[in-house]
């Protein structure tokens, strides 16, 4: 495990996240991982922040709404199959960790675990939530919401960032 500066690895993060990363959230006994392909990184409120977007229709949404933190695990090796599975199956119907042999690994600063993989991990404390108001969305983006299941944006203060070799 090697600590890293989230901004020093931001180019890698963005390139990899477009291919898929795991957003893992735990609240009480509920734990789920979903595939994300989007994310913003930077500084706001004088803190390093990572922002993720979760549609209200997702199983993860019901968990993250009760959670105080989340993690993002970004594989730097090929995990196409697991990412595809986590992006298309719902944690309501299947235990993704068991089905895929994904191993949750205790995080350092968050209740939500990270995923055991070769890659970069971000541990984030949720500081602000913004449910999308469709009235303030540009028309150009409406086609992404045919079912009107808008995203809620979660802004997490990055409290730990590190690379792992475990795959």
Return residues touching a second copy (CB under 8 A): 7-8, 10-11, 14-15, 17-18, 37-46, 49, 51, 53, 125-133, 136-138, 140-141, 144, 153
Of the two residues 15 and 99, which places its CB atom closer to a second copy in the complex? Answer: 15
The answer to whether residues 104 and 146 touch, using CB atoms and an 8 Å cutoff, is no
* Nearest distance in Å: CB 158, a second copy: 11
Of the two residues 85 and 150, which places its CB atom closer to a second copy in the complex? Answer: 150
Of the two residues 105 and 153, which places its CB atom closer to a second copy in the complex? Answer: 153
Beta 114-115 vs 47-55: how paired, if at all? unpaired
**Token digits of residue 24:** 């893992």
* Nearest distance in Å: CB 12, a second copy: 9
* Nearest distance in Å: CB 1, a second copy: 21
The answer to whether residues 86 and 100 touch, using CB atoms and an 8 Å cutoff, is yes
Of the two residues 105 and 132, which places its CB atom closer to a second copy in the complex? Answer: 132
Placement of tokens 């949404």 in the chain: 61
Query: Long-range contacts: 105-110, Cβ < 8 Å, 24+?
Result: 105/166, 107/71, 107/160, 108/160, 109/69, 109/159, 109/160, 110/69, 110/70, 110/71, 110/159, 110/160
* Nearest distance in Å: CB 82, a second copy: 20
């Amino acid at each position: 495990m090697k600590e890293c500066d989230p901004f020093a690895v931001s180019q890698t993060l963005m390139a990899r996240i477009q291919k898929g990363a795991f957003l893992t959230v735990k609240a009480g006994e509920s734990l789920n991982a979903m595939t994300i392909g989007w994310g913003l990184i930077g500084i706001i409120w004088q803190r390093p922040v990572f922002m993720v977007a979760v549609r209200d229709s997702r199983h993860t949404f019901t968990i993250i709404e009760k959670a105080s933190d989340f993690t993002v695990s970004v594989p730097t090796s090929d995990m196409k199959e697991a990412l595809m599975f986590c992006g298309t199956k719902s944690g309501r119907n299947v235990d993704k960790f068991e089905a895929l042999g994904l191993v949750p690994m205790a995080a350092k600063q968050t209740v939500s675990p990270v995923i055991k993989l070769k890659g970069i991990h971000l541990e984030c404390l949720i500081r602000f939530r913004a449910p999308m108001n469709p009235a303030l969305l540009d028309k150009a983006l409406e086609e992404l919401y045919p079912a009107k299941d808008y995203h809620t944006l979660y802004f997490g203060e990055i409290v730990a960032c590190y690379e792992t070799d475990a795959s």
